[in-house]
Amino acid sequence: MEEALKKAFTLIELLVVIAIIAILAAILFPVFAQAKQAAKKSADLSNMKQIGIAVMMYLSDNEDVYPQAYWYKNDQGDLNGYWHWSAGIMPYMKSSEIFVSPGDPGRGLVPTNPPCASISESNPSDPPCDSQVPRLSYTVNAAIMPRKRRSVDPANVVGASAIEAPTSLIAVAPFSNTPHCVNDTSNQQSTNFKNKSHRSVNAVMLNAAGTKWKGEAASEFPPTVNAVYAATRVKAEEGFAGCKTNPGPDYIQLVYIEPRRFGNGSNYTFADGHAKFFSVEATLNPRKWLWGRNMYSAQGIPVLDANGVQVD
């Protein structure tokens, strides 16, 4: 009996062991969390690489022309649903799950209307359905994949040969985790509210003062407008914070992206198909501008910095 008591832990020894375990846990748990985040970041990069490859395959089958971000199936409005760029490249993808980022807590944004039974459906439907993947964590750059909703809209599709530096031009970006930021001014609608996950993004402003460039009306295109301005970091951060806490005001469209999906940045797919991680600040450097030195979908008008000089 005495020998058994001698072999047992004393209270002090137990407290020391517990303290050591607590210290190890405090050290290791953050390491585990970082490893998990790194795994998600790698999986997201793989998704974006596969999307990039699919876009390249789409180009080769469509006379080297990038797809539109979306269009109205009835060529008038969303009454009969949308056709979306994800439908265009889906034949080259293994699964629609690739369009969902492991770093997106909401598992992607849903379409405006229910997704069509067949994603290739391009004709008007009743009831309306969207030719779009069921959930979406990524959007496209309107500089090369415009929101040409109707045939009368001034935006144009873009051929790969028109792009000067495809290796440094973002094609696909991370969609915001916050639906309010993507829904934009539609948040103000009191009736018939719908999600707007079909939208593309741009990183430009109509003027140096920061007026939003929508890329819809003829008044935003030549000959009325012959240049647009690069979004500034200040204007971008104002939008990223504001659209989450005060949705509704007309923030620049860059707020449609998730600027920091993984730590201090996000993964992006480029116009040549490769994918890479960048901080949002790096993408907005006017001397290493990654959103297109021209708005190719707007007759190639130049993008200017705050001093009126074309970005590099």
- Walk along the chain (312 residues) and give the pLDDT tens digit of each residue: 455 455 676 888 778 888 888 888 788 777 666 778 899 999 999 999 999 999 999 999 999 999 999 999 999 988 899 999 999 999 999 999 999 999 999 999 999 999 999 998 999 988 999 999 999 999 999 999 999 999 999 999 999 999 999 999 999 999 999 998 998 877 655 444 578 999 999 999 999 999 999 999 999 999 999 999 999 999 999 999 999 988 877 899 999 999 999 999 999 999 999 999 999 999 999 999 999 999 999 999 999 999 999 999
- 3-class DSSP assignment, residue 257: strand
**CA dihedral over 225, 254, 46, 312, signed as positive or negative:** positive
3-state secondary structure 22-84: HHHHHHHHHHHHHHHHHHHHHHHHHHHHHHHHHHHHHHHHCCCECCCCEEECCCCCHHHCEEE
**79 and 50 Cβ atoms separated by less than 8 Å:** no
**Residue 110 is encoded by which pair of tokens?**
């849903």
**144 and 163 Cβ atoms separated by less than 8 Å:** yes
Round to whole Å and give the CA distance between 225 and 214: 13
Domain boundary assignment for the chain: 12-304
Q: What is the enclosing helix (H) or strand (E) of 282?
A: helix 280-283
Closest-CA residue to 173 (of 265, 243, 110, 60): 265
Q: Where are the beta strands (DSSP E) in 197-280?
A: 204-205, 228-230, 266-270, 275-278
